[in-house]
Amino acid sequence: MRLALLGVAHETNTFSRVPADYDSFRIFRGDEIVREYRESHSTNAGYLEAAERFGCEVAPLVYATAGPIGTITADAFDRIVGEMLRLLKDQGPWDGVLLSQHGAAVSDDYPDVDGEVAARVRALVGPDVPVGMTLDLHGNLTQKMIENTTATVLYRTNPHLDPRPRAVECAEIIVRTIRGEVRPVQALEMPPLVVNIVKQFTGEQPMLGVMNDLDEVLARPGMLSGSVAEGYPYSDVEEMGMGFLAVSDGDAGAARDAARWMAQRAWANREQFVGDTPSPEEALKMAAAAAKGPVVLMDVGDNIGGGSSADSTVLLAEAKRLGIGDYLQTLYDPEAVIACVAAGVGADLTLKVGGKTDDLHGSPVEVTGCVRLISDGKYEETTPVHGGFRFFDDGTRVVLETTDDHTLLLTSRRSGNTTRQQMYSAGIRPEDKRVVVAKGVVSPRPAYEPIAAQIILVNTPGVTTSDLSFFEYRRRRRPLYPFEPDATFP
Ligand SMILES: [Zn+2]
């Protein structure tokens, strides 16, 4: 039995002004996929693991991935998807296909890239070859994805600690389908409901209740799989919002009932999915007044994992204004890194940092400080963190200690804060700080929850702000709750 492994994974923030062109993608081919991912906790690792577990051959063809920036250019889509289909055709025939996608990809020509990829793969291999697809749970599910796959499986944790077991689950359904043991039938329900990004943590209500409902569905007899899409509010596409998917063994009615039951239960609690977070000033004052630190402030508007710039200075400027020190944050600023490297370790200098990508994430802030450390920015995380990544690269980076008692880790690449190794490898102990800024909403939790006295989500501005009224949507469906509060779900 021979299965193809391939995919293009992108989380597209259509409000970001940085296009995802061909060069923004990292493309792995053949054994490069094995070398990069086999020992990780990612979707690809799960597909590769499935080969040993189920005694089949899984052939890694090509996998393209880019940081979560703006819309995929038509050129990048054509070249990447063109290569995928060419390899699939040239190296076939296949008993099955395993797609490694994200679920929130948008290109210039296709608002539903993941559905389009599935449709093209389906057209190429024909109706009888099972196609499995594994997605991130905060993508937007579509009918096109479901119609063109045999089974689609989404991660069930946000932060994402389970891509690998979900990919194994998806591959198992495909293998069992090929062997004639099961006959997957999928049903999708999409209530007109958006989950605010600050409510997408699956370890807390309201998502915890949704995931408990999913567990109940998974325990029903004959249910092969089930998934919940939280929706990706920063992709302005028609299907943006929640999706509930059930996959039963041959029973379309059971799948439909299960998907519908989950959707109705979430809809009944719809008020709980609306955002409610403190302003930067409120959050910083709460941190300063807390009995003990570190207080981790989630910079929601500068969520690198959601397509943001990584150089927001909103919290930094506010901390400076309020005179709050004992404060740590990262900032993407390659120019400032060059200036600090030129000055050298131990040098004092005054310069402007951050806020240089666009005018949505604060202005550059003038700071005076001492360069404490210069490093190549490479570090490794061996425990499961968000997304299952292992190797990290901030680019050349420096630690700047400012006269405001702020520790700034300036990076040359747009890095998030998903592992504390980022700090330890730079000689910084976040445990010892009063205020630690983590750019993101959910992704920094596995790293910072173990040491945080308190975590506060902050309503900062930016391309990933939780204040969705900030965006001008053109393509989303209407009505959609909470934009249209009187939306109904039959
Ligand atoms: Zn994700």
Ligand 1 centre to CA of 370 (Å) is 36
pLDDT value at residue 371: 98
β-strand pairing of 435-439 with 223-229: unpaired
Average pLDDT, the chain: 96
pLDDT tier for residue 100 given thresholds of 50, 70 and 90 = very high
Q: Which residues surround ligand 1, an ion (CB under 5 A)?
A: 136, 138
Say if CB 283 and CB 453 are below 8 A apart.
Answer: no
- pLDDT per position as a tens digit, 268-297: 999 999 988 999 999 999 999 999 999 999
Ligand 1 centre to CA of 230 (Å) is 10
Residue 458 to residue 285: CA distance in whole angstroms: 12
Q: Which helix (H) or strand (E) holds 451?
A: none
Mean pLDDT of 240-265: 98
Ligand 1 centre to CA of 85 (Å) is 25
Mean pLDDT of 152-170: 96
Ligand 1 centre to CA of 102 (Å) is 8
Q: Which of 214, 303, 280 is nearest to 16 (CA)?
A: 303
Residue 382 to residue 80: CA distance in whole angstroms: 30
- pLDDT per position as a tens digit, 379-419: 999 887 776 778 999 999 999 999 999 999 999 999 999 99
Q: What angle do CA 51, 218, 138 make, to 5 degrees?
A: 75
Ligand 1 centre to CA of 148 (Å) is 22
Q: Hunting for tokens 């592992």 — which residue is that?
A: 419
Residue 424 to residue 480: CA distance in whole angstroms: 44
pLDDT of residue 222 exceeding 80, the answer is yes
Residue 217 to residue 232: CA distance in whole angstroms: 23
Ligand 1 centre to CA of 388 (Å) is 11
Q: What are phi and psi of 244, to 5 degrees?
A: -125, 125
pLDDT of residue 302 exceeding 80, the answer is yes
Portion of the chain with pLDDT greater than 90, in percent: 90
Mean pLDDT of 297-301: 95
Residue 22 to residue 16: CA distance in whole angstroms: 16
- pLDDT per position as a tens digit, 231-243: 999 999 999 999 9
Q: Which of 61, 69, 66 is nearest to 98 (CA)?
A: 61
pLDDT value at residue 385: 74
Ligand 1 centre to CA of 87 (Å) is 27
Contacts of 448 (CB under 8 A, 6+ apart): 296, 417, 420, 430, 436, 438, 455
pLDDT value at residue 471: 87
pLDDT of residue 330 exceeding 80, the answer is yes
Would you state the structure tokens that stand for residue 471, as one six-digit string?
């965006």
Strand partners, 244: 189, 228
Ligand 1 centre to CA of 158 (Å) is 7
pLDDT value at residue 390: 85
- pLDDT per position as a tens digit, 40-71: 999 999 999 999 999 999 999 999 999 888 99
Mean pLDDT of 250-264: 98
Q: What angle do CA 36, 40, 46 make, to 5 degrees?
A: 100
Ligand 1 centre to CA of 234 (Å) is 12
Ligand 1 centre to CA of 321 (Å) is 34
Ligand 1 centre to CA of 416 (Å) is 13
pLDDT tier for residue 470 given thresholds of 50, 70 and 90 = confident
**CA 152 vs CA 12, 63, 81, 95, 242: distances in Å:** 20, 18, 19, 17, 15
- pLDDT per position as a tens digit, 333-386: 999 999 999 999 999 999 999 999 988 899 999 999 999 999 999 999 988 777
pLDDT of residue 24 exceeding 80, the answer is yes
Lowest mean pLDDT among 23-27, 167-171, 218-222, 486-490: 486-490
Say if CB 188 and CB 259 are below 8 A apart.
Answer: yes
pLDDT value at residue 490: 83
- pLDDT per position as a tens digit, 187-214: 999 999 999 988 999 999 999 999 999 9
pLDDT tier for residue 331 given thresholds of 50, 70 and 90 = very high
Portion of the chain with pLDDT greater than 70, in percent: 100
Mean pLDDT of 235-256: 97
Residue 97 to residue 42: CA distance in whole angstroms: 17
pLDDT value at residue 261: 98
pLDDT value at residue 384: 74
Ligand 1 centre to CA of 403 (Å) is 37
